[in-house]
Structure 1
């Protein structure tokens, strides 16, 4: 996996994560602002409606103006907006956020507006409700107290329970607080709703349980966030799958085009995408297939052309044998047929070797061997064959130090042999083989004093079955496969073959260059 691809995927995942977090945050804050406002109005509604139906609540509950800023008056005294006035006219309880808490408004039965201001809405609302309950319980007889408790609990939306069992008593700290002030707001462990412990004048204890406070993580919010997160992830996944599917369809369409015979079709893909490596591998495969098809066509054409001449000579020789009477003529024709068969055998060997190298290469078994020994062996063998040509081998001491390299000896021997034999075929009388080895690379230069190769034909000489007008003719021999085999052998060794002009001898110079050490994993 490339670093660019990893960073691209990481950036996209980070972007999706940031988008999900941003959307969830905005929804959470937006929805909870509405829910919080709605909760305040619903939470204060029982108390405010109780005050609305109470005649002169400011005088009746005389302690509330000082503690909770309870006021009652004409609507014009409160500087209310038209929307607020309209809501109050409909009998709704309005909660307004102020700089020091919340102000709760309701319209009484006589048209006045009742206002209640709380700094800590939940706690102070519990205190206000508890004080009203205690006032009413204090003003009733003990016999009517249970009936009044039921009425108050139903009207104020709370649970009121006289303490009649020791198990119902709260912690000691709460009891100490109620003995001092007569009223304590507390919460039980693992419970969020507030409770108020009241002590009546007779010493009786009453517990008032308030509704649950506002919960920002209510199940509707959680369900909505889960739906949003799931939807965003589903959209992101859909876009990702669609992106991959689009690129895979490109590969599929190109494969169909190639199957129809459009060998030049290629996949166009941007770098760093999920299928860029697949597209690159597919294009390499397509180029290899196209090259194999072209090589096959060239080979069929060239083989049919190359085989025609020796086959014709063999047919002619057989006819001469049938009509010949002299033993000398028969021997001469048999020698000619034997030479033609030898030529066919060499041609078939060249074709098979080239086809094996071109169609994916042999199973190379690289092993450490001496390159200089292989060069000396080739030179000695060619010197025996090319008796009229001087073949020199130049290997310096520095190269001898790095003679051992990872090679396939048989194919390196074949490559050097093809170059030396080709040079000796066209040389006027002198061929030089230079070897330059160092810690990293191996280089072999084969130079001759022949006519050389024109610069415009330097690449053409490595083409299969290529014959140059000046330097390659029927009389010079060869089938146009030797240099192609050399280049493929060097390709499978991770190197290259070059052709140029010899500065020393004036003819052609062929060079082989490949890395001295090559990992086995990199060899196909």
Structure 2
């Protein structure tokens, strides 16, 4: 995976994680604020509704004004907004917070608004409810207390039970506080209890509704669903980017199928399909090159075949007019040589086409480069006795003579170079091996006229020759050096031409890595 794309993907994933965390936090905070407000109002509603329905609650429960700043106020004097006033009109209980603590408000059926100031909503509502219960339970005869306590507790939104079993008693410090005040709050913000001691010494426990929990199962489900939704949107955007990239590749493929071989996919930095685009462009370039090579080959082959075929036709015509056996044999020998030339040309064309159109199935294996050089020099010395061919192999190169090669094709490449050098040399050809631990290099030099520098790259093109002669004496078809370059390409190396400093003619060099 490309480094640019990896960084871009990591950045996107990190941004997505931050976005999901931010969205979930904002939603959780918003839900928590709304739910906490609703819980506060729901917690205080039973007590405030009870007090609002009680005639003169400040006198009836005389401790309320002293403990909780309990009073009846005019709605206009409360500085409430229109929504709050409307909710009071519908009988809702309001909890307004300020620096002094929460203030609980409820409208009375008889007029006015009850206001009660609390320090801590949960325990203060519990204690105020417990005081109301204690006042009423002390007024009820012991015989009727059990039957009257249940509806009374339900009206105040709590559960009430007698503590007849000592195992249900709270800690000693709670018992000490209940002995001093007749009520004692204990528990925590999740679940609170108040212990009540009646005038006759009876102990009763009042259980409050559960405290506020910010994270409940529905909230967790909602947050998980929201995170999944954000992730789905992000994946959809990512897939849209991928789809756009794939569509660009598809459109270029359609253009190439219609014959526009110049079409290429634009490479985006860090794109998800950048590697695919590069591979596709490489394939398109290869296809374009092969098509151009095919066209060039068709044109050149038709030209190359025309000369020997014309000579064969001429020879056949001459056979018909031959008047003696010597002339007949001369024409037959000429036709035989022309057929041999055609056979060699076809072999060259097939070899070049096989190398150019994807290459042969190379079976690279360790083999001695110096042995191949000596073999080529010996073979070419027999074919060209008038040319002095020498192999220059330093002792250091013998230590690294073994290389990962395809011996048959490397033999063909060196043979083409040596044969080509013998064709143009005045009388001397030198083959040098320069081998080390990393690379292999074979130089083939001659003392011929050399090659002009502006033609150095041209000589490796298929069917390219530096003269226009097509006679038997000039030899070659312009494919030998192209075959050499392709063989080196499939070995992971290069071939190039320069001028020989010692012999003055051309120097062809083959360079490839020693180990593949």
What's the secondary structure of 1:103's corresponding residue? strand
Deviations 1:181-232 (A, max 9, x none): 54344459xx943333322222333332222222212344334323321221
Whether the 8 Å contact between 1:426 and 1:471 is mirrored in structure 2 is no
Deviates more, 1:252-261 or 1:66-75: 66-75
Whether the 8 Å contact between 2:264 and 2:284 is mirrored in structure 1 is yes
Q: Is 1:287 aligned to 2:289, yes or no? A: no
Whether the 8 Å contact between 2:48 and 2:93 is mirrored in structure 1 is yes
Q: What is the distance in 1 between the residues matched to 2:63 and 2:420?
A: 120
Name the structure 2 match of 1:385: 383
- Within 5 Å, give how 1:283-362 maps onto structure 2: 283-362=281-360
Q: 1:469 to 1:316 in 2, by over 3 A?
A: closer
Deviations 1:426-463 (A, max 9, x none): 12222222221111111112222222222222211111
Q: 1:124 to 1:34 in 2, by over 3 A?
A: same
Q: 1:262 to 1:85 in 2, by over 3 A?
A: closer
Name the structure 2 match of 1:43: 43
Deviation at 1:342, TM superposition (A): 1.0
Name the structure 1 match of 2:460: 462
Deviations 1:481-523 (A, max 9, x none): 00000000000110001112222222222111111111xxxxx
Deviation at 1:242, TM superposition (A): 1.3
Q: Is 1:169 aligned to 2:151, yes or no? A: no
What's the secondary structure of 2:160's corresponding residue? strand
What's the secondary structure of 2:467's corresponding residue? coil
Number of residues of Structure 1 aligned to a counterpart in Structure 2: 515
Q: What is the distance in 2 between the residues matched to 1:241 and 1:154?
A: 57
What's the secondary structure of 1:157's corresponding residue? coil
The runs of 5 or more residues in structure 2 that have no matched partner are none
Q: 1:516 to 1:222 in 2, by over 3 A?
A: same
Whether the 8 Å contact between 1:434 and 1:444 is mirrored in structure 2 is yes
Name the structure 2 match of 1:55: 55
Q: What is the distance in 2 between the residues matched to 1:419 and 1:472?
A: 20
Name the structure 1 match of 2:436: 438
Name the structure 1 match of 2:220: 222
Name the structure 2 match of 1:419: 417
Deviates more, 1:101-110 or 1:40-49: 101-110
The runs of 5 or more residues in structure 1 that have no matched partner are 519-524
- Within 5 Å, give how 1:130-209 maps onto structure 2: 130-146=130-146, 148-163=148-163, 166=165, 169-170=168-169, 176=175, 180-181=179-180, 182-186=182-186, 192-209=190-207
What's the secondary structure of 2:391's corresponding residue? strand
Deviation at 1:115, TM superposition (A): 2.5
What's the secondary structure of 1:476's corresponding residue? coil
Q: What is the distance in 1 between the residues matched to 2:463 and 2:433?
A: 28
Q: What is the distance in 1 between the residues matched to 2:120 and 2:90?
A: 27
Q: 1:127 to 1:473 in 2, by over 3 A?
A: farther
Deviates more, 1:361-370 or 1:471-480: 471-480
Deviation at 1:89, TM superposition (A): 4.8
Q: 2:208 aligns with which of 207, 210, 216?
A: 210
Q: What is the distance in 1 between the residues matched to 2:323 and 2:276?
A: 70
Q: 1:54 to 1:122 in 2, by over 3 A?
A: same
Name the structure 1 match of 2:97: 97
Deviations 1:167-189 (A, max 9, x none): 9935565884576354344459x
Whether the 8 Å contact between 1:447 and 1:508 is mirrored in structure 2 is yes
Deviates more, 1:144-153 or 1:390-399: 144-153
Whether the 8 Å contact between 2:307 and 2:470 is mirrored in structure 1 is no
Q: 1:460 to 1:173 in 2, by over 3 A?
A: farther
Deviations 1:19-76 (A, max 9, x none): 0110010111122112211221221112122222333333332333444343444557
Deviation at 1:411, TM superposition (A): 1.1
Question: TM-score if structure 1 supplies the norm length?
Answer: 0.91
Q: What is the distance in 1 between the residues matched to 2:513 and 2:135?
A: 102
What's the secondary structure of 2:496's corresponding residue? strand
Q: What is the distance in 2 between the residues matched to 1:472 and 1:434?
A: 31
What's the secondary structure of 1:517's corresponding residue? coil
Question: TM-score if structure 2 supplies the norm length?
Answer: 0.92
RMSD, matched Cα:
2.6
Q: What is the distance in 1 between the residues matched to 2:494 and 2:362?
A: 17
Q: What is the distance in 1 between the residues matched to 2:82 and 2:22?
A: 35
Q: 1:257 aligns with which of 247, 255, 258?
A: 255
Q: 2:269 aligns with which of 254, 268, 271?
A: 271
Q: What is the distance in 2 between the residues matched to 1:194 and 1:331?
A: 127
- Within 5 Å, give how 1:70-81 maps onto structure 2: 70-74=70-74
Whether the 8 Å contact between 1:178 and 1:198 is mirrored in structure 2 is no
Q: What is the distance in 1 between the residues matched to 2:454 and 2:166?
A: 109
Q: What is the distance in 2 between the residues matched to 1:62 and 1:472?
A: 130
